[in-house]
């Protein structure tokens, strides 16, 4: 199984500042035939289901603000939230869909400082 | 509009069974990947099972042999039959579109609100 490890487990960032969440996979999720990284990011607010923010490591889902961006390739990925807003308080998860079983990171809790 | 609505959860004794339903609107379950993903109280997300075209099914090792995923195309509904339940199966069970490993549909783009399964004596 591919193990997804996020860092940090939690972080507190001031409003208007930048938040950076890292995700490392135990093996590459880059498929060389199409040069795509099989990596997604989700946001989960209390009492709500997860919401898909990013897929293919860097493609934003429709309707997701451009404050959210994904980067990285192979085994190391980053979710960056610029100009942090109060509504961004949530737990964020990365997920690989390169190989079965699908696996998620343990989650990163983002709070306002 | 895409909607997924789960039902069927409740309090079940260890060793018991329950069947969860995921009623879908806005897309056809017969032409998409539909997965179950669970979340134990206060914990992270765990993929459980997926069903897709022609009834192909996959399961997490933790539920293999105990859970069965199925679909009713006429009702556009996906089911999860859960047998031999254990305390550690206690979780909020979500159905979601996606879960196709190594495909263009690997991410989960639509989710239901979840149904809670509590396994306890």
Give the whole-angstrom CA distance, residue B100 versus residue B118.
Answer: 28
Helix (DSSP H) and strand (DSSP E) numbers for chain A: 0, 13
Q: What is the pLDDT of residues B80-89, one digit of tens each?
A: 999 999 999 9
Q: What are phi and psi of B57, to 5 degrees?
A: -135, 145
Alpha helices in A49-110 (DSSP H): none
Q: What are phi and psi of B31, to 5 degrees?
A: -120, 20
Partner-chain residue, chosen from B44, B45, B102, that has the shortest CB–CB distance to A99: B102
CB distance A72 to B73 below 8 Å: no
pLDDT (mean) for B31-53? 96
Distances (CA, A) of A24 to A83, A86, A104, B21: 24, 27, 11, 34
pLDDT (mean) for B47-72? 94
For residue A101, is the peptide bond before it cis, meaning its omega torsion is within 30 degrees of 0? yes
Chain A, nearest residue to B115 by Cα: A49
Answer yes or no: do A104 and B109 touch at CB < 8 A: no
Partner-chain residue, chosen from A49, A95, A98, that has the shortest CB–CB distance to B102: A98
| Per-residue model confidence (pLDDT) at position B102 | 82
* A69 CB burial (10 A radius; 0-12, 13-18, 19+): middle
B35 contacts in A (CB within 8 Å)? 102
What is the H or E stretch that residue B11 is in? strand B10-12
| Per-residue model confidence (pLDDT) at position B103 | 82
- From the CA of A68, how many Å to the nearest CA of chain B? 16
Residue B1, SS3 per DSSP: coil
Chain B, nearest residue to A41 by Cα: B107
Q: What is the pLDDT of residues A32-76, one digit of tens each?
A: 999 999 999 999 999 999 999 999 999 999 999 999 999 999 999
DSSP 8-state class, residue B26 = S
A51 contacts in B (CB within 8 Å)? 111
Instruction: Please report which confidence band the pLDDT of residue B105 belongs to, taking 50, 70 and 90 as the band edges.
Output: confident
CB distance B6 to B68 below 8 Å: no
Sign of CA dihedral B102, B105, B109, B111: negative
Answer yes or no: do A93 and B44 touch at CB < 8 A: yes
């Amino acid at each position: 199984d591919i193990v997804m490890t996020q860092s940090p487990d939690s972080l507190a960032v001031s409003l208007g500042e930048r938040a950076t969440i890292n995700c490392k996979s135990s093996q590459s999720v880059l498929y060389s035939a199409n040069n795509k990284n099989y990596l997604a990011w989700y946001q989960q607010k209390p009492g709500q289901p997860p919401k898909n923010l990013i897929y293919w490591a860097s493609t934003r889902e429709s309707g997701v603000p451009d404050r959210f961006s994904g980067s990285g390739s192979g085994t190391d990925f980053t979710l960056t939230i610029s100009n942090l807003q109060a509504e961004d308080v949530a737990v964020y998860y990365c997920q690989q869909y390169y190989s079965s079983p699908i696996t998620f990171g343990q989650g990163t809790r983002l709070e306002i400082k | 509009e895409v909607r997924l609505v789960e039902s069927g959860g409740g309090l079940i004794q260890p060793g018991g069974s329950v069947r969860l339903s995921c009623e879908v609107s806005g897309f056809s379950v017969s032409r998409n990947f539909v997965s179950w993903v669970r979340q134990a109280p206060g914990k992270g997300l765990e993929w459980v099972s997926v069903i897709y075209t022609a009834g192909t099914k996959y399961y997490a090792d933790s539920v293999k042999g105990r859970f069965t995923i199925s679909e009713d195309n006429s009702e556009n509904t996906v089911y999860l039959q859960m047998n031999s339940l254990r305390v550690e199966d206690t979780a909020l069970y979500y159905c979601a579109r996606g879960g196709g490993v190594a495909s263009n549909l690997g991410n989960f783009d639509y989710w239901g609100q979840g149904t809670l399964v509590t396994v306890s004596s």
